[in-house]
Amino acid sequence: MKISRRDFHTTLLATPAAAQVAGQNAPAPVQKLALPAGPSVEAGGEPIDFPLPPSLRLRWTVTGLPRQYFMEWLPALFERTLVIEEWKTPQSRLQWIFTGPMGGFTVEAGASKVRVFQRYDDSPALAKYSSVRDARHPEAIVEESSVEYSGQLQSIAVTLDHRLSLRVALNGKEAIVEHCALDVNRHQLAMVGEQGGFRGRLLPPAVETATVAVDSNTRFQLMMGWGGTTTPPAFAELSQEGARAWWRKLVEYNLLLQREYPVGARLKPEMTNWDRPRDASPHYYGDNFPNCETSDFAYNRRVRQLGGKVIFEFWELPVWARQYDSQGKITEIPKMAEYAKAMVRYCQVAREKAGAPPEIVGIQNEVRQPPEIWQQMAVTLRQALDDAGFRDVKIHMHNSPTLAGGIAAARAFQAKEAVWKTIDYATSNVYDYQNFFYDPDGFDARAREMKEVIGSKPFLASELCVNNAAFQTRTYRTALAMGQLYHKLLTLLDACGAMYCWTLLNVAQPSYGWTRTLMVPDPEHGFAPVASSHQLRVFGAYSRRVREGMTRVRSTSSNPNLFVTAFNGHGDQYTLIVLNRSTVRQKISLTWPGAVFHHLETASPQLENAVEPAPAANGNRWELTVEPGAIVTLTGVELGRVADDFFKA
């Protein structure tokens, strides 16, 4: 059965199924498909033969559903094909059942019809909607499609791809496509119907070969680094041992750009409450506790001791630094003198309490201003910083919530040469990429347009995460969708760095942790920092081995679904990152003259940045294998480590 929108909103607001259930339309009319003759297939594969021998057990069997289990662990993306050699009882139905940590989907075929349905089974709230009488587990169907076919069914192929799509082909012809963000890792067959009978094969997964070549002489952007916002209230929740673990993780994952999210509207005119904990604000984060709009200068000092940088900007300006309109209502437009005074004062307090001013300050986060106001803010800020002795503090432009808005902002700053000269970094948040999860390459035109506008100005992706409720899930495939974004930022926009929205966030409602932050304090394990989902391992596939001062160099691949980036630094600082977004295992032959590799690191649903020795070189050539949906990093860069004396300081 399908959950109605009304029932969902009254009873399932907190369930993980929410993203899939909300907004779904009624099932489409059943389509009809004339099957072509199936293509010839290779021999071999795992044999399937129903009915199976009867069970010797008298209790706890799955009544009426003889099953065959495939023992493989599925990769994140895949294509699997069943070849049908004999269907002994045409009215019986074969169920191909795929399961994962949150739910799964079933492809049911037989009696001239194929039905595909997705289900969630990870919340007791779903039990109310179970269509199974006396079900032993909660379950609800959230999407369902059907197609009737004529002709002989010879093969069924199931594909889970990088576009968050589930695709089913019959005899090589695509029959059903659904959006699907679920991870599945196991699969099995069940025969429905007492007289059911079926014989066939599960074909082995395909393997492809590819070549990758790197040219260190063709050089692009100089990297600044990676990071995000560690919120002071979240850091304060960590235990003493949790704080020690945090610093180790921060350095290991190379998240050394600390983006300040300081007090805005609550800043007092005397500007004495930058770091007062009770002024932290909850913003719009559901039932979660206050997280931001306060600084921790002691934390920032420690970040700098580890080689990090601090980036500061306002979102909402202090009330006393904003203009009023003709009706006496407060606006977002700043009083220029007060705005500049507040920015300079933060730099002064940071110098006093953290040992140095921020390396970079931003014009303003996400608030849209008329172009002439942005231009005036940039010039006023640069002059105020210079007059106060902060000539080395860099400025990044206003960061729009979306790259589309960032393009418009960049045009506004660039319209006057004197204004554009004050901007050291072009910047934008990148939340509109979520609109392209079902078509990631559709985002490329927008990225290229931004690059065309900013030219050689370094680009900093100032804020990105998944905040759309439709995708706010802990699945690896959602994280992999973001991994494609990281590659595009690096290669289409020449990004010198990227910052996840939050690196550590204090959450009460878990979905905010799954995709809006990389880590959360874990109250069930001594308030230590833990990865809140797969987002950390995918972001870490890029951040861990690409350090400040390294340069991206030219890399090419013979397979367009192998996303390859390469970086070169001093000494043995060579890093190659390969994201395989195809549904096929790739055997890669890499050529990189002069490169030195010590480690091979893998991020996948089963591996959290797992490290093993690099493969041996054959001259300037290496051989490596990348599973579908996995990210492999081949590197000579050692992981960052915290010295013991850091904890004594």
Distance from C-alpha of 292 to C-alpha of 642, rounded to nearest angstrom:
26
- Contact call for residues 186 and 99 (beta carbons, < 8 A): yes
Distance from C-alpha of 395 to C-alpha of 427, rounded to nearest angstrom:
10
Distance from C-alpha of 496 to C-alpha of 167, rounded to nearest angstrom:
37
Residue 158 burial class via C-beta count within 10 angstroms: exposed 0-12, middle 13-18, buried 19 and up: buried
Distance from C-alpha of 231 to C-alpha of 513, rounded to nearest angstrom:
13
Distance from C-alpha of 77 to C-alpha of 563, rounded to nearest angstrom:
15
Distance from C-alpha of 245 to C-alpha of 132, rounded to nearest angstrom:
46
Q: pTM for this one?
A: 0.93
Distance from C-alpha of 49 to C-alpha of 410, rounded to nearest angstrom:
63
- Closest listed residue to residue 170, CA positions, set 59, 99, 94, 244: 94
> How high is the pLDDT of residue 49?
87
CB atoms within 10 A of CB 509: 13
Beta bridge partners of 357: none
Distance from C-alpha of 581 to C-alpha of 112, rounded to nearest angstrom:
33
Q: Which residue has the tokens 């010198």?
A: 496
Model confidence over 119-147: pLDDT tens digits?
999 988 888 877 766 778 889 999 999 99
From residue 120, give the alpha-carbon distance in Å to each of 3, 182, 255, 513, 516. Answer: 12, 9, 34, 20, 22
Distance from C-alpha of 434 to C-alpha of 482, rounded to nearest angstrom:
9
From residue 84, give the alpha-carbon distance in Å to each of 175, 198, 200, 235, 295. Answer: 17, 8, 4, 57, 64
Distance from C-alpha of 603 to C-alpha of 583, rounded to nearest angstrom:
16
Residue ranges of E strands in 326-370: 330-334, 360-362
| The pair of three-digit structure tokens given for residue 186, joined into one six-digit string | 């196991």
CB contact burial 431-441 (16+ within 10 A = b; e otherwise): bbbbebbeebe
> How high is the pLDDT of residue 19?
37
Phi, psi of 198 (to 5 degrees): -160, 140
CB within 8 Å of 295: residues ≥ 6 apart = 232, 260, 262, 263, 274, 275
CA angle 192-158-33, nearest 5°? 75
Pairing mode, strands 93-99 and 103-110: antiparallel
Q: Which residue has the tokens 């020690």?
A: 244
Distance from C-alpha of 417 to C-alpha of 47, rounded to nearest angstrom:
70
Distance from C-alpha of 431 to C-alpha of 428, rounded to nearest angstrom:
9
Residue 323 burial class via C-beta count within 10 angstroms: exposed 0-12, middle 13-18, buried 19 and up: middle
Q: What is the DSSP string of 604-638?
A: SSS-SSEEEEPPPPBTTEEEEEE-TT-EEEEESPP
Distance from C-alpha of 611 to C-alpha of 407, rounded to nearest angstrom:
39
| The pair of three-digit structure tokens given for residue 96, joined into one six-digit string | 């191909």
Distance from C-alpha of 40 to C-alpha of 185, rounded to nearest angstrom:
28
> How high is the pLDDT of residue 147?
96
Model confidence over 520-538: pLDDT tens digits?
999 999 999 999 999 999 9
Amino acid at 464: L
- Ranges of residues in the chain with a pLDDT under 70 are 1-30, 52-65, 132-133, 194-196, 284, 649
Q: Which residue has the tokens 């008298």?
A: 58
> How high is the pLDDT of residue 60?
54
Model confidence over 252-311: pLDDT tens digits?
999 999 999 877 888 999 999 999 999 988 776 889 898 888 999 999 999 999 999 999
CB atoms within 10 A of CB 6: 8
| The pair of three-digit structure tokens given for residue 515, joined into one six-digit string | 């995709």
Distance from C-alpha of 225 to C-alpha of 210, rounded to nearest angstrom:
30
CB atoms within 10 A of CB 470: 16
CA 212, 213, 218, 221 dihedral sign is: positive
> How high is the pLDDT of residue 424?
98
| The pair of three-digit structure tokens given for residue 519, joined into one six-digit string | 């880590």
- Closest listed residue to residue 497, CA positions, set 227, 313, 314, 229: 227
Termini Cα distance of the chain: 61
Phi, psi of 269 (to 5 degrees): -55, -30
- Contact call for residues 629 and 77 (beta carbons, < 8 A): yes
Distance from C-alpha of 166 to C-alpha of 162, rounded to nearest angstrom:
10
The DSSP element (H or E) to which 113 belongs, if any, is strand 113-120
> How high is the pLDDT of residue 330?
93
> How high is the pLDDT of residue 22?
35
Q: Which domains does the chain have, with CATH numbers?
A: 5-204 (2.60.120.200), 206-222+549-649 (2.60.40.1180), 224-545 (3.20.20.80)
CB atoms within 10 A of CB 530: 15
